[in-house]
Structure 1
């Protein structure tokens, strides 16, 4: 690591990446937290990271005022941060604005719009010569209907700034609009694409894509939120898409003027043609970055931290296999009665790591999102097919029983 730089990192939820940084950077990491996300940081996690200085942005306070308060606070640190990292998609606009006001490296307001407003994003894709699904901004069911008259049902409806498929719907016809509040957010509609959906992650330094790692998705995100297997598989073998993924990401990074960081892109392959889906300039969701480390046998989090600290990492790959994160089901809200143990999961073929986020007796709240899970298992194999087969074996063996809240409350103690 670059031992002359201190990193300010947004910390709005516990993640493998932030935990890694907390261990590895020690006195070279400062956390930036937002008061409105306090409920997402457990007391155990706050104790785990208590050795790190943390600045809390107050809810409702003026950004310029908070940035000035931060600068005064940071001046009292042994070494104030000179670099910035935001791993969070929903905090992107607020975090980058804060970094700008604090005088740290940041995405510009235009770049934030390009990577957060999906309609603007797709317009830029087209300006860069990439195909996309047909799309339109919409404000009413009538506008959605007119779009579908031109491009056919089903269509995909989403907020322009959504993530993890939150409030994203596949509509088979006008009747599927029932219960969706189109006045609550800014919406767009897209044609539903066939073909194969892929993901690709990349790290960038000085505007150069240093490398890119493709991932297969056994099931599409919109199928996942409706109950399909929730998994991503990093393809370190020859099973990947017939596309120069590094060149693909480089075209977008150059076209958006991105200097450094971690990029995560989704695209479709239809009859050999690439259709750009979406891009985020932040860590990929779920445990996708860790998959790449398992697939290629290298320190993916260390390489990511390096580019945020302004240093070119050595990408020393020691493996070439497929490795995926299987998110374990969380079937409903209530109290967990029983759940398969980590030890049992680690005993299954191909499972090299497993994390349970909940245990017996915990109260849980499920939500319709692609990251909804009770935990995850990392599964490896020689091919995408072998990993997917092993993942389905894990799901067959995994058991979680959730007692709905009303039933749990009715049980005598």
Structure 2
């Protein structure tokens, strides 16, 4: 592989990674956008990335026709893309299928199933000798009830293709099923595990896990969507879980045949035993990848781009500390009144970066999802405990006021 290769990258929402790639790979980056994502690509971001060639996929046209149109379009570029990267979890199936039709490296249809369908994923985990929570596919409240009768309440109910805890519910009894339409999507139920929940991210090249970085979670994702502190802390100090993380991820990578990319996995540690949760072959959500860069002192986004370009990344670490992303609350929908400034946040102990996604006067919509936020702050410290304490101080001092939108006054007759 040469440094001259061009990357085709799915771009369905602004992120730190896509902004980094837009800056660093000018002339070697082509964006793949889907017509249905236009509302998620704000005007300022479109202007920011206007210097890059972008192909828009028409989602009402057969994929084969769009791939043919893309190949003809790409042939007119100075260099057509020869590598592919999809950072988007919900677009895995359509994006990887498009890459296949375009003749680019891609996940196979079966691999997409194994990293998107959580029931199929857990079945493969068990085939690979890993423990998982008990689980079952369900289509009715009665099936959920029978599962709970065998394994006990609470249980966790989720669509098999959910992400960021969207439409994921912890059920404490049959009454919690009220209002959930189990006929609308493919659902699964699993036992609610205790113990400690951890995350691990890894880079893969030529089927080899190059390194793996653990993250602590002060609060579980299902608690986060109900209002708990929303944070992840990369543990660069060696105080992570007593698990061979590279070997854990390597077992899954080998067992699924994944050749390259960024993997993000969640697992539980219960009485010293690992229970595999879920894995995604794409960048972790929120600002988790950036946490690893702050914790280990290296260019994490550059290393990630390297593996998608088929090159071995520079993993020379210059730092060893704990670093986390604290998502700042977005308490409701309406219009932002006042909000703590970025400068104030940067002046708080341990804060090394901060981004506000909203400003006074903006209309905002809160969602029940683990990435619901008004912005984020990166906080560093010598231990997980110190970082968490500093995060809680930021939350204590951060203020955001969201005023409900008023209905227009009636027009007099």
- Class of the TM-score when normalised by the shorter of the 2 chains: over 0.9
Deviation at 1:179, TM superposition (A): 0.8
Q: Which residue of 2 aligns with 1:57?
A: 57
CA shift digits 1:159-203 (9 cap, x unpaired): 000000000000000000011111111000000000000000000
* DSSP 3-state at the match of 2:153: coil
Deviation at 1:239, TM superposition (A): 1.8
Q: Which residue of 1 aligns with 2:322?
A: 322
Q: Which residue of 2 aligns with 1:367?
A: 367
Normalised by the length of structure 1, the TM-score is 0.98
The answer to whether the Cα contact below 8 Å between 1:333 and 1:404 also exists between their aligned partners in 2 is: yes
Is 1:73 aligned with 2:73? yes
The answer to whether the Cα contact below 8 Å between 1:32 and 1:55 also exists between their aligned partners in 2 is: yes
Is 1:217 aligned with 2:220? no
Normalised by the length of structure 2, the TM-score is 0.98
Q: Which residue of 2 aligns with 1:349?
A: 349
- Size of the aligned set, in residue pairs, is 410
Q: Which residue of 2 aligns with 1:134?
A: 134
Inter-partner Cα distance in structure 2 for 1:375 and 1:322: 20
Inter-partner Cα distance in structure 2 for 1:365 and 1:50: 27
* DSSP 3-state at the match of 1:209: strand
Inter-partner Cα distance in structure 2 for 1:259 and 1:109: 14
Q: Which residue of 2 aligns with 1:260?
A: 260
Inter-partner Cα distance in structure 2 for 1:125 and 1:240: 22
The answer to whether the Cα contact below 8 Å between 1:334 and 1:408 also exists between their aligned partners in 2 is: no
* DSSP 3-state at the match of 1:70: helix
Inter-partner Cα distance in structure 2 for 1:165 and 1:250: 25
Inter-partner Cα distance in structure 2 for 1:162 and 1:147: 20
Gaps of 5+ in 1: none
Deviation at 1:4, TM superposition (A): 1.8
Inter-partner Cα distance in structure 2 for 1:148 and 1:239: 36
Deviation at 1:220, TM superposition (A): 0.1
Inter-partner Cα distance in structure 1 for 2:174 and 2:22: 49
Deviation at 1:2, TM superposition (A): 4.7
* DSSP 3-state at the match of 1:27: coil
CA shift digits 1:293-313 (9 cap, x unpaired): 000000000000000000001
The answer to whether the Cα contact below 8 Å between 1:333 and 1:366 also exists between their aligned partners in 2 is: yes
Q: Which residue of 2 aligns with 1:195?
A: 195
CA shift digits 1:127-168 (9 cap, x unpaired): 000000000000000000000000000000000000000000
Q: Which residue of 2 aligns with 1:123?
A: 123
The answer to whether the Cα contact below 8 Å between 1:3 and 1:28 also exists between their aligned partners in 2 is: no
Q: Which residue of 2 aligns with 1:204?
A: 204
* DSSP 3-state at the match of 2:253: helix
Inter-partner Cα distance in structure 2 for 1:249 and 1:407: 52
Inter-partner Cα distance in structure 1 for 2:386 and 2:354: 18
Q: Which residue of 2 aligns with 1:340?
A: 340
Residues 351/408 of structure 1: CA separation in 2 closer, same or farther (3 Å cut)? farther
The answer to whether the Cα contact below 8 Å between 1:335 and 1:408 also exists between their aligned partners in 2 is: no
Deviation at 1:227, TM superposition (A): 0.2
Inter-partner Cα distance in structure 2 for 1:31 and 1:355: 24
Gaps of 5+ in 2: none
Deviation at 1:3, TM superposition (A): 2.2
Q: Which residue of 1 aligns with 2:17?
A: 17
Inter-partner Cα distance in structure 2 for 1:69 and 1:409: 50
Q: CA RMSD in A?
A: 1.1
Is 1:94 aligned with 2:113? no
Inter-partner Cα distance in structure 1 for 2:240 and 2:133: 22
Q: Which residue of 2 aligns with 1:298?
A: 298
Q: Which residue of 1 aligns with 2:392?
A: 392
Q: Give 4+ residue runs of structure 1 displaced > 4 Å after superposition.
A: 407-410
Q: Which residue of 1 aligns with 2:84?
A: 84
Inter-partner Cα distance in structure 1 for 2:408 and 2:328: 22
Inter-partner Cα distance in structure 1 for 2:370 and 2:94: 23
Moved more, 344-353 or 401-410: 401-410
Inter-partner Cα distance in structure 1 for 2:153 and 2:327: 30
Q: Which residue of 2 aligns with 1:376?
A: 376
Instruction: Spell out the pairing of 1:149-168 with structure 2 (5 A cutoff).
Output: 149-168=149-168
Inter-partner Cα distance in structure 1 for 2:70 and 2:256: 29
